[in-house]
Amino acid sequence: MRLTERIAILGAGRIGMALMGGMIKADLVELDNITATARSEATLEHIRQRFSVKTHTDNRDAVKGCQVIILAVKPQNIREVLQEIAPVIQEQHLIISVAAGITTRAIQQALNQPCPIIRAMPNIPVVVDAGASAIAPGNTAEDRHLRIARAIFEAVGEVVVVRESQLDAVTGLSGSGPAYIYMVIEALIEGGVKMGLSRDIATRLSVQTVLGAAKLMKESGQHPAVLRDEVTTPGGTAIAAIHELEEHALRNMLISAVETATRRSQELRQLLNHHDDLS
């Protein structure tokens, strides 16, 4: 699939540049059809040097002539950006927002247009094209709009479609999930060091172990319990370690972490939207 729509990425920070780079590497969009904005001229110069796309400091000018608008700004800045672009937004524009916690209803009210809106929750590994992203359509978004959003985020990883009400759970799982995995990797490294490995070797082995385990599960399609059993021999080292992990309730802790992060996302969403009034 190749997109013919012109795309404006408003607030091309880390996520915005990752999406831009992914689309370009996947040959999804012609360079001339991408426009990026940032507040800093230094950032824009970096974008021009790296991606050879058009840039603007003015969001309103960037939106003109584009059909797809990606809101990659921070949640605390979205009110200002929506007020800025509202006069030039029309019903046919597709709005894709990666601003965490800001609902499609709040965005639509601020823009005062019945344009299709899709919320996306990518996670930080999109910067290495290994992201896990969830997209959720607003009330006026159609299948053709979802196809565009899916293509954009598939350029930087895996994509699932969920209901907007499920995005808090997505935030708790894949949005915050890399932090949990980094802690697991850090603990594995320390375990290796404790048992006499150099920090460099322990780090390389830990990172590759996590990467390999995830890749094997993804490519085999097998349940994690099945794969775990394949490396768990009777009376062996793995079952002894698994018993220790169960004794310390590793699974319960991770389940609780996802639950806690989800509830915090719900709290932040309520604070950010101010009863759906961003205007």
Task: Output the pLDDT for position 91.
Answer: 94
> What number is the average pLDDT over the span 203-230?
97
Task: Output the pLDDT for position 81.
Answer: 95
pLDDT at 226 over 90: yes
Judgement on whether residues 113 and 218 belong to the same structural domain of the protein? no
Judgement on whether residues 115 and 204 belong to the same structural domain of the protein? no
Phi, psi of 82 (to 5 degrees): -65, -40
pLDDT at 275 over 60: no
For residue 193, what are its two tokens? Answer: 């060091």
Task: Output the pLDDT for position 277.
Answer: 62
Judgement on whether residues 29 and 136 belong to the same structural domain of the protein? yes
Among 140, 165, 190, where does a domain finish?
165
Q: Which residues, at least 6 apart from 222, have a Cβ–Cβ distance to it below 8 Å? A: none
Judgement on whether residues 58 and 20 belong to the same structural domain of the protein? yes
Provide the residue range defining the domain that includes 27: 7-165
pLDDT at 278 over 70: no
Split into its structural domains, the chain has a count of 2
Alpha helices in 119-223 (DSSP H): 143-154, 167-170, 177-194, 199-220
pLDDT class of 54 with cuts at 50, 70, 90: very high
Strands 94-97 and 117-121: parallel
Distance (Å, whole) CA 199 – CA 70 = 41
pLDDT at 276 over 60: no
Judgement on whether residues 35 and 157 belong to the same structural domain of the protein? yes
Question: CATH number of the domain that 76 lies in?
Answer: 3.40.50.720
pLDDT class of 273 with cuts at 50, 70, 90: confident
Q: Express each pLDDT in 87-109 by its tens digit.
A: 999 999 999 999 999 999 999 99
Partners of residue 94 on adjacent β-strands: 68
In our burial notation (b when 16+ CB lie closer than 10 A, e otherwise), range 232-255 reads eeeeeeeeeeeeeeeeeeeeeebe
> What number is the average pLDDT over the span 19-45?
95
Judgement on whether residues 183 and 149 belong to the same structural domain of the protein? no
**Per this entry, what is the length of the chain?**
279
Task: Output the pLDDT for position 272.
Answer: 83
Global pTM? 0.93
Is 95 a domain residue?
A: yes
Judgement on whether residues 160 and 192 belong to the same structural domain of the protein? no
Angle CA(75)–CA(79)–CA(84) in degrees, nearest 5? 125
Average pLDDT, the chain: 95
Judgement on whether residues 150 and 89 belong to the same structural domain of the protein? yes
Judgement on whether residues 157 and 222 belong to the same structural domain of the protein? no
The answer to whether residues 82 and 278 touch, using CB atoms and an 8 Å cutoff, is yes
Judgement on whether residues 201 and 92 belong to the same structural domain of the protein? no
pLDDT class of 279 with cuts at 50, 70, 90: low
From residue 4, give the alpha-carbon distance in Å to each of 54, 110, 129, 134, 158: 16, 27, 22, 23, 22
Is 243 a domain residue?
A: yes
> What number is the average pLDDT over the span 9-13?
94
Is 268 a domain residue?
A: no
For residue 226, what are its two tokens? Answer: 């099945």
Radius of gyration of the chain (CA): 21
> What number is the average pLDDT over the span 191-210?
98
pLDDT class of 160 with cuts at 50, 70, 90: very high
For residue 240, what are its two tokens? Answer: 């002894």
H-run or E-run covering 49 = helix 41-51
Judgement on whether residues 32 and 153 belong to the same structural domain of the protein? yes
For residue 215, the one-letter residue type is K
Strands 34-37 and 94-97: unpaired
Is 34 a domain residue?
A: yes
Task: Output the pLDDT for position 271.
Answer: 87
Task: Output the pLDDT for position 274.
Answer: 66
Question: CATH number of the domain that 204 lies in?
Answer: 1.10.3730.10
Strands 117-121 and 131-137: antiparallel
